Amino acid sequence: MSKKFELSEPFDSVPTLSCDGVEFVKSPIDSSYGLLLCGVDNSGLSLSFTFDVSQLTFSKQTIAHEIFDYVLFSTASGEFEYVFDNDEMLIQFCEFYGLER
């Protein structure tokens, strides 16, 4: 069985896509913005990044001889990337934010 995101609405009915401690949230005020929430295992530390959905960059990278899709987030504090485990997760992410891939 392949890994996939779980769609839920935990934040006051705000749609959230989550998997393995990472949550992507749609802005309840402006759908052109999203929020990435990430907890650090075995720590009280959590990170959050607000991003402009229209500024996301998709690409591919090779990890251990396998090709994976990833999305690049640019924020005022730097660039961050999220690597999708499989094509289904990429499709779910794009549908969640209304993006064409």
* pLDDT at site 28: 80
* pLDDT at site 98: 92
Between strands 66-75 and 14-19, the pairing is unpaired
80: β partners: 73
CB 86 within 8 A of CB 3: yes
Q: Splitting the chain (101 residues) into consecutive groups of 10 residues, what average pLDDT does each group show?
A: 75 81 88 89 86 93 92 84 93 93 71
d(CA 42, CA 77): 25
Angle at CA 49, nearest 5°, toward 12 and 19?
A: 65
* pLDDT at site 56: 94
Angle at CA 36, nearest 5°, toward 90 and 49?
A: 135
Domain regions of the chain by residue span = 6-96
